[in-house]
Amino acid sequence: MRKPFVAGNWKMHGSKASILTLVSDLNSKIAEIGDVDVAICPPAIYIDYVNRALAGNRIAVGAQNMAEEANQGAFTGEQSVAMLKDMDCNYVILGHSERRALYGETDSQIATKVDVALKAGVTPILCVGETLEERESGVMESVIATQLDAVLDVVGIESFDKVVIAYEPVWAIGTGKTASPQQAQEVHAFIRGKLSSLNADVASKVVIQYGGSVKPDNAVELFGQPDIDGGLIGGASLNANDFIAICKAAG
C-alpha cells in the first residue's frame, strides 16, 4: 500500500508574520491528520524560519527548486542541494510548469536536477503535465511521456522508487479549474502504466500526486481514485484549515 502524501507549494508567498501564524495553526491541528505524509515548501529564504517554527513536528520541509550543479560555486542566485540538506530539506519540487514556462527550464535540465537530488538523498517531487492546447490536440500522453522519458533516461526506472511524481494539468493550476476525478485518474493510470512497462514493482510503489486547484470540497473524490496518492497543493496550502482538511481527505 502506498502511503498518501500531501505537499504544500507556497510559491512566492509569505512573510515572517504570516508564516508564523500559518505554521502555528498547522502545529495546533496536525494531530488531527491520519496516516499521511505531509510537507510544506516555502520560498527558499524562509526554509530555516519554517523549520524552526515547526519545532520538529511531523510536517517535513521542502524547497521549490534547486540548482543543477551539485556543488557550491559561482552561480549567483542559486541554491545547491547540499544547502537544502544543510537546512533539513527532505523534498524539492522539480519541473513545475511555472519553472518550465516562465524560466525556460528544459526536460534535460529537470532530469539533471532529479539526478542530483537523488544522489544527495533529497526526494524530488517531479512535476509533469500538459497545457490545455496539448490536451485538446490529443498529444497529452505524448507530452507527459516525453517529460518522464527525459528523467528515466538519466536516472533509470529503479531510481523511481525514490521519486514522487506530481501530475499537474497546466490548465488547472491557479485557474480555479480542476480536472475531474475521472480525467485525473486517467492520466495517473497512464503514468503508472508507463512505469509498469519498465518495472511493475517500482511502478506499484511510486506515489503520484495530483495538483491543480485542489480544495477541501473536491479532495475526497480526487484522492479516492485508485492511482491518486495525495496532492501537490498551491493556494489552499496557505490556509491552515483548508490544508489540514485536504490532508485529512488524503487519509
Q: pLDDT tens digits, residue range 64-100?
A: 999 999 988 999 999 999 999 999 999 999 999 999 9
Residue 3 sits at the vertex; the CA angle it makes with 61 and 39, to the nearest 5 degrees, is 10
Mean predicted confidence (pLDDT) in 18-41: 96
Q: Which of 69, 96, 186, 188 is catalytic?
A: 96
At 185-219, the pLDDT tens digits run: 999 999 999 999 999 999 999 999 999 889 999 99
Mean predicted confidence (pLDDT) in 220-236: 97
Q: In this structure, are residues 97 and 110 in contact, taking their beta carbons and an 8 Å threshold?
A: no
Q: Note the pLDDT of residue 5.
A: 98
Mean predicted confidence (pLDDT) in 161-188: 89
Q: Which of 68, 168, 186, 188 is catalytic?
A: 168
Beta strand 37-41 pairing with 208-210: unpaired
C-alpha cell at 111: 532530469
Q: What is the mean pLDDT of the chain?
A: 96
Q: Name the helix (H) or strand (E) containing 7.
A: strand 5-9
> What SS3 class is residue 101?
helix
- For the question of residue 188 being annotated catalytic, the response is no
Is residue 177 pLDDT above 80, yes or no? no
Q: Note the pLDDT of residue 216.
A: 96
Please tell me the pTM assigned to this model: 0.96
- For the question of residue 168 being annotated catalytic, the response is yes
Give the torsion sign (CA, 110, 112, 42, 4).
Answer: positive
